[in-house]
Amino acid sequence: MTHHYDLYAIGNALVDSEYEVSDAQLQAMGVEKRHMTLIDAPRRTDLLAHVQGLHARRTGGGSAGNTVVALAQLGGSAFYSCRVADDELGAFYREDLMANGVATNLTHTQPPQGQTGSCMVMVTPDAERSMSTFLGATADLDHTALHPHDIARSKIYYMEGYLAASPTGLDAALQGRAMAKDAGVALATTLSDMSMINFCRAGLDAMVGNGLDFLFCNEEESQVWCGTQDLDAICRQMGQLARTVCLTRSAKGCLVLENGQRTEVPSAPVKALDTNGAGDMFAGAFLYAVTHGHSHAQAAWLANHAAGRVVSQYGNRLDKQVVADIKAGFLQHTR
């Protein structure tokens, strides 16, 4: 069978607006630091009043959206199932995916009335990101966004962990998972955020199911998941969830866990400005490399370098030229 896509993903469609704020401003707004918090429309209006006059950088976002764009920028082929509304942000989001060469269900459907989801990202001087997410239209993401034929013709099916918070979104992700499994497509997910583990554990457990091929998480998420800070215990427990687990550890690089073995892959030394999108970039770069014949250790090297570049700038996406440079360095490294 010829594979049509390297990666088929389902996740939230969110337009990110990123603001640089002080810790005092963050506190004044009542935003919980380092977490993703879901907000309603009145709270969004309230937060917008706080940041009035501050410069905002606007980009396409959504965790799995960032991942498919990263993979496509590196030269892979990707499909993204998501939901936007019939508004200016929705048009912006669809055009952003298309400009990055990502195929999507959005080109085949008339979007509903309403507001497209958006995420206000507050970045503090310590490079931490604190997110307030208004789901809007993506709260009603459901199985109608799935393209079963395209899922069956993909190498990897990827579920965004944040969908655990949406009953219809979770149902869609799990229906897609069953289709992928039937077609022999590899399964992947990301734990997304500590708040998802704390409040939506059952949904994430369902995504993991009886095992995945690839699982992505950071060290803090793995500690919350396992209820311990003991790295050996974490590696044992996380290693049972997927054939390959990538556990990212910021400046310490990442651990790749498979078959009871763990491989440490060092990170690229960078000065961190903004961690928004780093984990998404890591997953996209890793999956690009493994679908293009590279070993898991090589894939982690590329993923660390790409994530390092995201962290060393403001914003969740890399410029195409920067991606081309990273790829050139990677090909040199793997020669």
Per-residue pLDDT tens for 263-292?
999 998 899 999 889 999 999 999 999 999
Q: Which domain holds residue 162?
A: 5-10+64-103+140-333
201 domain residue, yes or no: yes
- What lies within 8 Å, CB to CB, of 309 at 6+ separation is 268, 270, 281, 318, 322, 326
> What's residue 243's pLDDT?
98
Band of residue 207 on the pLDDT scale cut at 50, 70, 90: very high
> What's residue 1's pLDDT?
61
314 domain residue, yes or no: yes
Report the C-alpha gap between 77 and 4 in whole angstroms. Answer: 8
130 domain residue, yes or no: no
Band of residue 108 on the pLDDT scale cut at 50, 70, 90: confident
Residue 3 has pLDDT above 90, yes or no: no
C-alpha dihedral (152, 156, 161, 165), degrees to nearest 10:
-10
Gyration radius of the chain's alpha carbons = 18
117 domain residue, yes or no: no
> What's residue 2's pLDDT?
72
What φ, ψ does residue 295 adopt, rounded to 5°? -70, 165
For the stretch 120-160, pLDDT in tens is 999 999 999 999 999 999 999 999 999 999 999 999 999 99
Q: What value does the mean pLDDT of the chain take?
A: 96
> What's residue 46's pLDDT?
96
307 domain residue, yes or no: yes
What percent of the chain has a predicted confidence (pLDDT) above 90?
94
For the stretch 8-59, pLDDT in tens is 999 999 999 999 999 999 999 999 999 999 999 999 999 999 999 999 999 9
> What's residue 269's pLDDT?
87
Count of domains forming the chain: 1
17 domain residue, yes or no: no
Token pair, residue 158, equals: 């990827």
178 domain residue, yes or no: yes
> What's residue 118's pLDDT?
96
Would you put residue 53 in left (φ > 0), alpha (ψ -120 to 50) or beta? Answer: left
Confidence (pTM): 0.95
C-alpha dihedral (225, 228, 234, 236), degrees to nearest 10:
-110
| CATH number of the domain bearing residue 182 | 3.40.1190.20
249 domain residue, yes or no: yes
